[in-house]
Structure 1
Amino acid sequence: MLTKIHANLSVSISELKRNPQAIIDDAHGEAIALLNRNKPTAYIIPAETYEMLMEMTEDLELAGIIEQRKGEKADAVEVSLDDL
């Protein structure tokens, strides 16, 4: 069975154990597929990439909430600026 690897770089767990920082440095910011018995078991990505993905996920969740609330009837009360 063929397994798709979602990275241009890959490394075995035993290689990673020898010198993890060298592997990360050699990737120059690209994702690394961590292989166990020649199958991807995890991906190593730069912290900045992970943070960006988390922000994008949060943005998508917020966009979903906004879309959901667009259809809701709001009990809005009109207030003049002078009343504030």
Structure 2
Amino acid sequence: MEAIYADFSVSMSEFKKNPAQVLRTAGEKPVAVLNHNRPAFYMVTPKLFEALVEELADRDLLEIARRRLARKDSAIEVDIDEI
């Protein structure tokens, strides 16, 4: 069985009938649109999508920082006023 990562779910046929109504009903919550009882896609609001993108960007930056900290022994010290 596949996990569904949403508080609301709707069948593909119900979604096709009135996608705007599905969005209104869900409010700010994500909606899993199911095809043969399996998630085909998730519908999210622009606000939630932006939050997801920002979280992914933050994780990427964290990984870069961790890699750089692991190499700090080879870092060259500089004076910010001389740059």
TM-score normalized by structure 2? 0.83
User: Computing the radius of gyration over CA atoms, which structure comes out larger, 1 or 2?
Assistant: 1
Count of aligned positions: 81
Specify which structure has the higher proportion of helix: 2
2:13 corresponds to 1:14: yes
AA of the residue aligned to 1:74: A
- RMSD of equivalent CA atoms: 1.8
Structure 2 residue 79 is matched with structure 1 residue 78:
yes
Q: Mind listing any 5+ residue stretches in structure 1 that lack a counterpart?
A: none
Superposition deviation, residue 78 in structure 1: 3.3
Mind listing any 5+ residue stretches in structure 2 that lack a counterpart?
A: none
- Residue of structure 1 in register with 2:64 after alignment: 65
Where in structure 1 do 4 or more consecutive aligned residues deviate above 6 Å? none
Give the share of equivalent positions with the same residue, in percent.
32
CA distance in 1, matches of 2:79, 2:9: 59
Q: CA deviation at 1:6?
A: 1.8
Does the alignment pair 1:34 with 2:29? no
Q: 1:29-55: per-residue Cα shift (whole Å, max 9, x none)?
A: 111110001111111111111111110
Whole-angstrom distance in 2 between the partners of 1:51 and 1:67: 24
